[in-house]
Structure formats: C-alpha cells, structure tokens
Amino acid sequence: MANINVKISRSEKTYPIYIEKDDITNLKLKITQSLRSDKYLVVISEKVEKIYGKILGFSKDEKFVLKDGEKEKNFENYKKIINKAMEKGLKRNDSIIAIGGGVTGDLAGFAAATYMRGIDYIQVPTTLLACVDSSVGGKVAIDTKAGKNLVGCFYQPKSVFINLNFLKTLDERQYKTGLGEVVKYIFIEKNCKCQVNFSNFMSENTGKILSRDLNVLEKMIEICIKLKVSVIEQDEEEQGLRKILNFGHTYAHALENLTRYNKYTHGEAVVKGIKFAFNLAEKRSLIDKNYRYFADDILGKFNFTEIPDYPKDKILQIMKMDKKNYSSKITFILPVDYSTVEEFSLYEDEIFPSR
C-alpha cells in the first residue's frame, strides 16, 4: 500500500491518495470513516454498480447510478445529482462519493464543487485512466453541445481511494486507454523534476503491465501520480507548468471532436496525438531522429490501436477553437529532448506546411 499526500501551495489544501489492493469489501468502511459526517451521496457508474454494487455495500437510497458513456457527463445528470443531494438533505459538511471512471469523477466532482458552494467529494477511480489522471488534480467539468469540459472548475477532492482490484474487470480497450495516459508521463518526466526514470520502468515491465500484474501496476500508478502531483502542487490552475500534462492533447481533442466522441476513446486519441507531436517536433528540428525512434519503439511495445490520419483542414479547423489557444496561433506541447517538453504557439502553415 502506498500513500501520497498532495499539498496545493496556492490554497494550502492537502489531501491523501491511498493506493492499495485490499479486499473491496473493506472499502466502504474506510471511505465512510474518513468523512466529516455520516451523510453522503454515492455517484456510481452503472457498469461498476453491476459488477461491484453488492460487494461495495452502499444501499440503494444512498446511490445515484450514472449510465455509461461520455454523453452522460451533461447538464441533465448534473441537475439530477444536485436534486438527489437536496432530497437527501445534504449539508455543507456532507459529501459526494464518486465511484467509476473519469466520466463519473468529473461529473460528481463538479456537482460537489457547486452544491452549496462546495462540499467534500471523494474520488474512487475504477478505470486505469481515472487512477493515473482524472481522479487527481481537481479538474471537474461537464460537457456542452459546443464541446468537452466547457463548464467546470478546479476543485480538489477530499481524498482519493485507489483499489487495484477494480482494474481486473476493465475490458482490454479501456485498459489500453488508461495506458495511453500512462505513456504520456514517459515524455514529460523531466519537466516534473521527479527522478524516477519512468521510461526504463515501462520498458522493463512491459509484459507484466500488459498482463496486469497488480504489484507492477501498483508501482506504475504510484509513479504516474507522483509525477502528476509534483506538477499540480506547483500549478493547480494551469497557468504554466500544468500545461505539460496536455502533451498529445491538442491533436487528441480535435480528433475526438471530429469523430464525435464515439469512434476513439480519450487514451487512444492521446496516443495518436503524441505521435503527431513527435512528427511535428522532428519536422521543426526540435528533436533528432534517434529520439523519434525511441518514442516509436516504446509506443510500439504497447500495441496501441492504429489510427489513420484525418483530413488536415478538418483537424485544423477544430484545433483553432481549442480553449488552450490565446491568439490565432495553435498551442502545442512538443518534445524538445528526452522526457522534456515545451509549449509552442504555431501558425497553421507551421503545423501543416502547404508544400
């Protein structure tokens, strides 16, 4: 078992992240003992409820069961959660417990952030992506018709309970999706100023990672979280350093939007975005061929879904609307050296030269 403490310097907030592989039957007690009151609302993903509902042991009346899929991270479900919290009479020292993947965590976290100007929320991530990324760092949001995560805020959880046993039932596609966010850390590690040599760890343990060896997964998740925490502790609201966590995401968000969020998962799109960033960096002579081969090699080991190139003009049109841009230029995080990235703002023809 590993415990990581997050200390947000700006707000002086702290919270624990527990990573463990204990029996899931003990989880309810651990969570409820950590709360400030005995009143709470559990927001749980439908699939997780089907598989783990009985073992977890929360009663029907304590739960809001959220249907699965990105399209459920919407205003309608936000309203339903707020109404359920009101019906239950939740007050300011009560809590919302989010059990599921990033969709559940982002939505329930946003409801907690805004209910009575903010009540405690507990993240119980059950996908690999949620363990290594979305449950940590306090980005909470819902989607609108105009795009993903357009209504949201930064609101840190009270605690994060990661139980590795949940990962045993993830389907292969969702597991690989999480690995897409995991491999991202290989290429940004030096900016995080954490000495972990994550690329070695990932190369040496590829087989065990792919076969979900829980001891190796525990270490892998711990490293990813330590890297992320080292970034968000310095820059909670993405004013500078935190932007590195968007490595691969400029292209990924455009691709997800172009394919209406139903063709590729977020992690699949991020891997394509990482490859795109490496191509662009090589074309702009920011990196040499050897680093590019190194990246291809390590990504190749994980057998990610191959995604074809999409029409440049369509991708560009969407990239231009990215909320991370400040001007008519498009913002990218690009590799500049081994495990090191930098932010660049580029004109269209610097991204896709016309000849």
Q: Can you tell me the distance from the alpha carbon of 330 to that of 344, in angstroms, rounded to the nearest whole number?
A: 8
Minimum distance from CB of 133 to ligand GLY (Å)?
A: 5
Distance (Å, rounded) from C-alpha 113 to C-alpha 133? Answer: 19
Tokens of 347: 């004109």
The entry of ligand NAD, ligand GLY, none near residue 242 (CB within 5 to 8 angstroms by kind) is ligand GLY
100 binds, among ligand GLY, ligand NAD, none (CB under 5 to 8 A by kind): ligand NAD
Q: Which does 123 bind (CB under 5 to 8 A by kind): ligand GLY, ligand NAD, none?
A: none
CB atoms within 10 A of CB 281: 23
95-100/120-125 β-pairing: parallel
Residues 171-190 that bind ligand NAD (CB under 6 A): 174, 177
84 binds, among ligand NAD, ligand GLY, none (CB under 5 to 8 A by kind): none
Measuring CA to CA, which residue among 288, 44, 78, 299 is closest to residue 184? 299
Beta pairing, strands 40-45 & 95-100? parallel
139 among known catalytic residues: yes
Residue 188 contacts which entry, ligand GLY, ligand NAD, none (Cβ below 5-8 A, type-dependent): none
Collapsed DSSP state (helix, strand, coil) of residue 45: strand
Our finding on whether 84 is near ligand NAD (CB under 6 A) is no
> Can you tell me which of 84, 139, 184, 243 binds ligand NAD, judged by CB under 6 A?
139
Which amino acid is it at 275? K
Contact 265, 174 (CB under 8 A): yes
**Residue type (1 letter), 186:** I
Report the chain's C-alpha Rg in angstroms.
20
DSSP state of 241: G
Query: In terms of CB distance, is 68 or 343 closer to ligand NAD?
Result: 68
Among 169, 200, 215, 262, binds ligand NAD (CB under 6 A): 169
Place of tokens 């060896």: 213
Span of 91-99, 133-141, 157-165, 252-260 interacting with ligand GLY by CB under 6 A: 133-141
**Rounded to 5 degrees, what are φ and ψ at 279?**
-60, -45
Q: Which is nearer to ligand NAD, 95 or 126 (CB)?
A: 126
Size of the site for ligand NAD (CB under 6 A): 29
Q: Is residue 273 at the binding interface for ligand NAD, with CB under 6 A as the rule?
A: no
State the nearest-atom distance from the C-beta of 170 to ligand NAD, in Å: 5
Cα distance between the two ends of the chain: 55
Residue 73 is a catalytic residue: no
Looking at 73, 176, 242, 243, which residue is catalytic? Answer: 242
Q: Which range binds ligand GLY by CB under 6 A, 132-140, 146-154, 201-209, 318-326? A: 132-140
Cβ-Cβ contacts under 8 Å for 86 (sequence gap 6 or more) = none
Minimum distance from residue 78 beta carbon to ligand GLY (Å)? 20
* 109 forms part of the interface with ligand GLY (CB under 6 A): no
Indicate if 301 belongs to the active site. Answer: no
Task: Give me 81's structure tokens.
Answer: 């959660």
- What is the 8-class DSSP label of residue 207? H
Which residues make Cβ contacts (< 8 Å) with residue 308, sequence separation at least 6? none
Among 73, 84, 148, 242, binds ligand GLY (CB under 6 A): 242
3-class SS shares of the chain: helix, strand, coil, % to 5: 50, 20, 30
Does residue 238 have an active-site annotation?
A: yes
Of 22-51, binders to ligand NAD (CB under 6 A) are 45, 47-48, 51
Chain residues that interact with ligand GLY, rule: CB under 6 A: 133, 137, 139, 242, 245
Active site residues: 117, 139, 181, 228, 238, 242, 246, 249, 253, 266
Chain residues that interact with ligand NAD, rule: CB under 6 A: 45, 47-48, 51, 68, 70, 73, 100-104, 106, 126-127, 129-130, 133-134, 137, 139, 148-149, 166, 169-170, 174, 177, 266
